[in-house]
A and B are shown apart, each in its own frame.
Chain A
Amino acid sequence: MSRPDGHRGGAGSRVLVIVPARNEADSIAGVIADIRAAVEADIVVIDDGSGDATGAIALSEGVELLRLPFNVGIGGAMQTGFKFAAREGYDIAVQTDGDGQHDASFIPMLLETIQAGRCDIVLGSRYLKNSGYKGPLGRRLGTAFFSRVLSLMLRQPLTDATSGFRAVNRQLIELFADEYPRDFPEVEALLSTHMAGLRVEEIPVRMRSRGGGRSSITSLTSVYYMVKVLLALLVVRSRKRMQRAD
């Protein structure tokens, strides 16, 4: 079980790996094993209203479990993890998907980047180096589009703005515990980070094709994704202007 007063993860920082999972009973045990093999950290599985044994498997694996009574979306699930991390006093929170597409062996590199203090959030990018990632074309185009938009807004080159494989420091844990987008949160959260005057960095990672489960993004929702995120970006920017005017 967890030891809230224990120091792990190297360099004296307490690390929580947040694993949002919805109906990932097939892959969740493997994901937990991979994380444990890669890093010494507490693990919390956020069961986002699964109808299968995801939560039960996580409990039997001996990790922390936060079970949402109904589906609140990836953003709402991640925020639950940030609230837990904020309350329990963790220094770094890592986000990795419950479907096994993120290669846990890169988590130590994410942690080192945060611990080096060069940035407040680090993204694991599939495209920074030629990682051999071959996702669906539509997804790659969407990622390229949002990476371009965000690169312009943040005035820094970004290659994988939609990556859900990332780590944040204590400051962002507290910020995200307080406010985090409900669905399709990845891109919007980066702009919020920038608006709060915090720094983003990318490191190259490898990603696997999906194990069990399906992506939360189907072709039907991709149009909604684009419009919603663009609108959200506009809103976040205009809010900042309002604050400046005050």
Chain B
Amino acid sequence: MSKIQLFALLVSIAFILAIFQLVRKKKLKEQYSLMWFLIAAVITVLAVWEPLLGGISSALGISVPSNALFLLALLFLFGLALHFSMLVSRLTDQSQFLAQKLALLERDLRQRESAGGDATSTAEADDEPA
């Protein structure tokens, strides 16, 4: 095993431990951690089994294997950024919906409080049999 392979292996193991720690401390949701575990696993495999990267790069027609690695990493990061943009869009919609709901409920509460006497008498009237 070459030095760089050993280094890559150590980094990916540290990566896996760090993700595991984040999940344990509840700073990372399991659903997102799965993706990162998968990436760490891919890095580990590529580090340990050197011919794999060479095979991928020649299959893609890329002469230097490290370029194939950069290409795949870049594509992955593009995909990830897009995924996060989608998540942010959804969160934006959700937060707007909640803000509007809060505004409406706060208004209802204010009206109920200002009409406090009426509300009580209505409730009492409802309790009495007709």
| A residues whose Cβ falls under 8 Å from a Cβ of B | 1, 46, 64-70, 72, 76, 79-80, 83-84, 87, 182
In the complex, whether B29 has a CB less than 8 A from a CB of chain A is: no
In the complex, whether B100 has a CB less than 8 A from a CB of chain A is: yes
Within 8 Å by CB of A69, from B99, B111, B114, lies: B99
A70 close to B104 (CB less than 8 A): no
- Interface flags, B57-83, vs A, CB<8A=1, else 0: 000000000000000000000000000
B104 close to A80 (CB less than 8 A): yes
For B96, B103, B107, B114, which residue has the most chain A Cβ atoms within 10 angstroms?
B103
CB distance from A77 to the nearest CB of B (A): 9
In the complex, whether B35 has a CB less than 8 A from a CB of chain A is: no
20 other A-B residue contacts (CB within 8 Å) besides A66-B104, A67-B107, A72-B99: A64-B107, A65-B107, A65-B110, A66-B103, A66-B107, A67-B106, A68-B99, A68-B102, A69-B99, A69-B102, A69-B103, A72-B96, A72-B100, A79-B100, A80-B99, A80-B100, A80-B103, A83-B104, A84-B107, A87-B104
Q: Interface residues of B toward A: which range?
A: 10 to 19
Report the nearest A residue to B105, measured CB to CB.
Answer: A66
CB-defined contacts of A68 to chain B, threshold 8 Å: 99-100, 102-103
Per the bound structure, the CA–CA distance linking A65 and B109 in Å amounts to 12
CB-defined contacts of B111 to chain A, threshold 8 Å: 1
Per the bound structure, the CA–CA distance linking A69 and B99 in Å amounts to 6
List 29 contacting pairs A-B, 8 Å CB cutoff, sorted by A: A1-B111, A1-B114, A46-B103, A64-B107, A65-B110, A66-B103, A66-B104, A66-B106, A66-B107, A67-B103, A67-B106, A68-B99, A68-B100, A69-B102, A69-B103, A72-B96, A72-B99, A76-B96, A76-B99, A76-B100, A79-B100, A80-B99, A80-B100, A80-B104, A83-B100, A84-B104, A87-B104, A182-B92, A182-B96
CB distance from A85 to the nearest CB of B (A): 11
CB distance from A46 to the nearest CB of B (A): 7
CB distance from B89 to the nearest CB of A (A): 10
Report the nearest B residue to A84, measured CB to CB.
Answer: B104
CB-defined contacts of A69 to chain B, threshold 8 Å: 99, 102-103
CB-defined contacts of B107 to chain A, threshold 8 Å: 64-67, 84
CB distance from A66 to the nearest CB of B (A): 4
CB distance from B83 to the nearest CB of A (A): 20
Per the bound structure, the CA–CA distance linking A149 and B96 in Å amounts to 29
Per the bound structure, the CA–CA distance linking A181 and B111 in Å amounts to 29
CB-defined contacts of B102 to chain A, threshold 8 Å: 68-69
Per the bound structure, the CA–CA distance linking A64 and B92 in Å amounts to 26
- Interface flags, B34-75, vs A, CB<8A=1, else 0: 000000000000000000000000000000000000000000
CB-defined contacts of A80 to chain B, threshold 8 Å: 99-100, 103-104
For B100, B102, B111, B114, which residue has the most chain A Cβ atoms within 10 angstroms?
B100
- Interface flags, B2-17, vs A, CB<8A=1, else 0: 0000000000000000
Report the nearest B residue to A59, measured CB to CB.
Answer: B110
CB distance from A228 to the nearest CB of B (A): 14
3 nearest A-B pairs in the assembled complex, by CB-CB distance: A66-B103, A80-B100, A68-B99
Per the bound structure, the CA–CA distance linking A64 and B106 in Å amounts to 11
CB-defined contacts of B96 to chain A, threshold 8 Å: 72, 76, 182
Per the bound structure, the CA–CA distance linking A72 and B100 in Å amounts to 9
CB distance from B107 to the nearest CB of A (A): 5
CB-defined contacts of A67 to chain B, threshold 8 Å: 103, 106-107
Per the bound structure, the CA–CA distance linking A76 and B92 in Å amounts to 11
